[in-house]
Structure 1
């Protein structure tokens, strides 16, 4: 039951990440740059977490000084680095290629988890990783875009975005050995905020930032695809391997694609449907196969 709840939490987190385009589009139209939007995202997330923390989780706000590097890792090396690389990649090449490079993350998590946490490198995981990567390729419609858009800088930053994306699962898993999900989420966004605010000089756009519509969209961005999403994902990591969590989280591009179809009248053809099926199949493979094997083992043991 706990494993099922973890799968559900990670799926919900990925689904919330998938709706981020709604907020990004609105804030872009208002006049903010991509990195300023990231700064808005992390700073408003921290404000929300701070309010929740002092009112309900004061006992979870204490950390040891020696553990600060772990939170700097999740906040700066993961979230800030991932966003910078991803936005740089988007400016360097076709969006479809950028998304595909981003979703090399599950493969990276599988490798890191094997080295750091001794998680088993099973055939099911390898099949699932390949399936999710192929699914992302189909969903983004890579067949209709030219690989001539691929640049060396774009390739490096694209793989960097996948690395940064993957590292949250790793730092999160390490932090969970000592701290609760709320503590990890709180200090992750504190570190990201401390790093990003001076970098973006967001206060120079205070006139735009403190308009009512901006504040509403910023709060929505900070709460739904950020605070709630990262809390669910971190909570899910408590009871599930980080390699599996990364594979499950690839439902994010499915939600983003469906959102584009419903809200922005973007097309979804047979190729995208195949991609969706591949990702869902990969999620099922990595979570169901092991359970079936376990049941078969129990049955054989009972027969003996």
Structure 2
């Protein structure tokens, strides 16, 4: 039950991530670049997390508002991995890939994260790679490709460096789940979220140096949009994401469930910006949803279920053998001296 709740929390986080485009469009219209927006998102998320941890500490057993901020050195090191590699470097690699090969190709390469998640889960946590996981990853990657390209593969650009950086972005996306799982096993998920945002925002600031761009684009409207950006698809979304991982989810399954962000993004585009759906995009959405369902099927429980047993019996039914068995039983009945006595009451 705890795992199911955790996957639902990740799904809810992915739904919130699907709203990112609304905030990004507003901030882009204000004159900010994508790298600046990514850095501001993490720092704004950290600001939104501070009062949450103050309340958490004040309501704790010690009644100390600062209690929730205190974590040990090893947990802090895990938060560095979450923030620097899982958030900052992943964003920078994605934007660099986008610059070299275009948005469609970069998106497709980013969606390789479920493949890496499956491999990393096996290597680091000895999670079994079973048939439904392989099928789910295949459905997921295919669905994301359909959604990103709408079936037009001519949109894909080919550049060795851009493709390599895009694959690195996919790997780092999978590592976010791994590092977050490691951190939440040792520390409170809210503290992990806060410090991940802080380290990630500082790293983005060092790597991209967006401060001049931010100062030139600042306005009351931009600050209001930024506050919503830091709260809804950042702080709240990652509270749910980290809280779900703290319930002991499999690292190999999380990237597939989190890919629901793709579906949410498409739905936001259709509902808010009147973007066309198209049959290929609809097929892609169905494949992503199917991958999430298939990934979370309990194969062992399914095999032992009454439905599967009945289906197995139906598929193994041999009509010739059944007729032969009934003919033999009828023959034995005729040979029985008391068959008339057996038949009379029936």
TM value normalised by structure 1: 0.92
Q: Distance between the aligned counterparts of 2:270 and 2:302, measured in 1?
A: 38
The number of equivalent residue pairs is 299
Counterpart of 1:189? 197
Query: Which position in structure 2 is the counterpart of 1:275?
Result: 284
5+ residue gaps, structure 2:
58-65, 310-346
8 Å Cα contact 2:104-2:156 kept in structure 1: no
Unaligned runs of 5+ in 1: none
Could you tell me which of 154, 176, 179 is aligned with 2:187?
Answer: 179
Report matched runs for 1:57-68 at 5 Å.
Answer: 57=57, 58-68=66-76
* Alignment correspondent of 2:157: 149
> Does the C-alpha gap of structure 1 residues 111 and 152 become closer, same or farther in structure 2, counting only changes over 3 Å?
same
Q: CA deviation at 1:21?
A: 0.8
Structure 2: distance between partners of 1:207 and 1:87: 21
Q: Does 1:246 align with 2:272?
A: no
Asked which structure has the greater RCO (Cα within 8 Å, sep 6+), the reply is 1
Counterparts of 1:281 and 1:222, CA distance in 2: 31
Q: Which residue of 1 aligns with 2:44?
A: 44
2:131 is aligned to 123
CA offset digits 1:5-61 (Å, max 9, x no partner): 212111111111111011111111101111111111011111111222223333221
Find the aligned partners of 2:189 and 2:222 in 1 and give their Cα distance. Answer: 29
Structure number, greater radius of gyration = 2
Judge conservation of contact 1:30–1:208 (CA < 8 Å) in 2: no
1:287 corresponds in structure 2 to 296
TM alignment of 1:2-17, pairs within 5 A? 2-17=2-17
Contact 1:97 1:142 in 2 (8 A): no
CA–CA distance in 2 between the matches of 1:150 and 1:170?
Answer: 29
Report the CA distance between 1:232 and its aligned residue: 0.8
Structure 1 CA distance for aligned equivalents of residues 117 and 156 of structure 2: 29
Q: Distance in 2 between matches of 1:65 and 1:4?
A: 31
Whole-angstrom distance in 1 between the partners of 2:53 and 2:250 = 27
Shift of 1:160: 1.2
Q: 1:233 aligns with which of 233, 241, 245?
A: 241
Give the aligned CA root-mean-square deviation in angstroms: 2.1
2:109 is matched with which residue: 101, 125, 129? 101
Cα displacement (A) at 1:251: 0.9
Contact kept, 8 Å, 2:36 with 2:211, in 1: the verdict is no
Give, in whole Å, the separation in 2 of the partners of 1:3 and 1:195: 32
Deviation readout 1:91-120 (Å, 9 max, x if unpaired): 112322111100100110111111111111
Alpha-carbon distance in 1 for matches of 2:287, 2:153: 20
Indicate how the Cα distance of structure 1 residues 248 and 235 shifts in structure 2: closer, same or farther if over 3 A, else same.
same
User: Deviation at 1:125?
Assistant: 0.5
The 8 Å contact of residues 53 and 69 in structure 2, kept in 1 or not, is answered as yes
Which has the larger helix fraction? 1
Q: Which moved more, 1:257-266 or 1:207-216?
A: 207-216
Q: How far does residue 295 in structure 1 lie from its aligned partner after superposition?
A: 5.6
In 1, are the aligned partners of 2:180 and 2:242 still within 8 Å (CA)? yes
Residue of structure 2 equivalent to 1:84? 92
Contact 1:109-1:243 at 8 Å conserved across structures: yes
Calculate the TM-score normalised by the size of structure 2.
0.81
1:200-219 matches, within 5 Å, as: 200-205=208-213, 207-208=215-216, 210-219=218-227
Aligned to 2:187, the other structure's residue is in SS state coil
